[in-house]
């Protein structure tokens, strides 16, 4: 399912959730260990919607049955690259789980861009670049094959609602906004 493209967003609040175990000893030294897990989370507020789009947007959210179903969504500021794309973007080599440096064909990445490998539902952020090479965050959670296609433009994030409850505050006018939280599903 795809979130309706005709519904824009007034506000997008991103969050990167990277859990870690933190312990402080009696000598006040802190020891931290990353779980290695990471997911993107967002609080989204739509533009002011007319009655038709408001009802359609709310119906779409209700069709997800709370946290049950996933959907794809394009997010402003995140779904289009800052880097230069000059053709079909592919991985230049195979990469294993845990690796975080990838070389691309036809793409000069920019720090802050998001990428997604075809066949994966996880989305990665570019945190460093050097020519056609880019450092990803988080490290790969699935292997990438040589020549695997990489989605850079019109990027879709796979998500699910962060709540099982659908609650609205609707003004008495015929215009309203939807506000909801989503988490990356992979």
Length in residues, the chain:
186
pLDDT in tens, 36-89: 889 999 999 999 999 899 999 999 999 999 899 999 999 988 999 999 999 999
Tokens at 45, concatenated: 């507020």
* Exposed / middle / buried, residue 2 (Cβ in 10 Å: 0-12, 13-18, 19+): exposed
Please say if the pLDDT value at position 166 is more than 90. no
pLDDT of residue 36: 82
d(CA 39, CA 89): 24
Residue 41: is the preceding peptide bond cis (ω within 30°)? no
The residues, ordered by sequence, that sit 6+ positions from 131 with a Cβ below 8 Å of its Cβ are 108
Tell me the average pLDDT of the chain. 93
pLDDT band at 122 (very low <50, low <70, confident <90, very high): very high
In three-state secondary structure terms, 128 is: strand
Domain boundaries, the chain: 9-75+157-184, 84-151
Please say if the pLDDT value at position 173 is more than 80. no
Across 24-28, 47-51, 134-138, the highest mean pLDDT is recorded for 134-138
pLDDT in tens, 100-117: 999 999 999 999 999 999
The residues, ordered by sequence, that sit 6+ positions from 185 with a Cβ below 8 Å of its Cβ are 70, 121, 158, 159, 160
In three-state secondary structure terms, 51 is: helix
Q: Which fold, 84-151? A: Elongation Factor Tu (Ef-tu); domain 3 (2.40.30)
Lowest mean pLDDT segment, chosen from 5-9, 89-93, 137-141, 162-166 = 162-166
Lowest mean pLDDT segment, chosen from 3-17, 104-118, 153-167, 169-183 = 169-183
């Amino acid at each position: 399912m795809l979130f309706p493209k005709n519904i824009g967003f007034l506000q997008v609040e991103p969050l990167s959730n990277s859990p870690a175990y933190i312990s402080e000893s009696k000598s006040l030294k802190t020891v931290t260990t990353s779980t290695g897990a990471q997911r993107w989370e967002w609080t989204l507020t739509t533009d002011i919607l007319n009655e038709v789009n408001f009802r359609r947007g709310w119906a779409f959210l209700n069709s997800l049955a709370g946290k049950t179903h996933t959907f794809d969504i394009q997010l402003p500021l995140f779904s289009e690259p800052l880097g230069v794309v000059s053709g079909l973007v592919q991985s230049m080599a195979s990469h294993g789980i845990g690796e975080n440096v990838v070389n691309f064909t036809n793409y000069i990445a920019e720090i802050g861009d998001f990428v997604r490998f075809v066949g994966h539902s996880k989305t990665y952020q570019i945190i460093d670049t050097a020519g056609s090479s880019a450092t990803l965050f988080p490290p790969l959670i699935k292997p990438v094959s040589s020549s695997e296609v990489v989605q850079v433009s019109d990027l879709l994030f796979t998500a699910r609602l962060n709540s099982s409850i659908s609650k609205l505050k609707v003004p008495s006018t015929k215009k309203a906004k939807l506000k909801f939280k989503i988490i990356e599903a992979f």
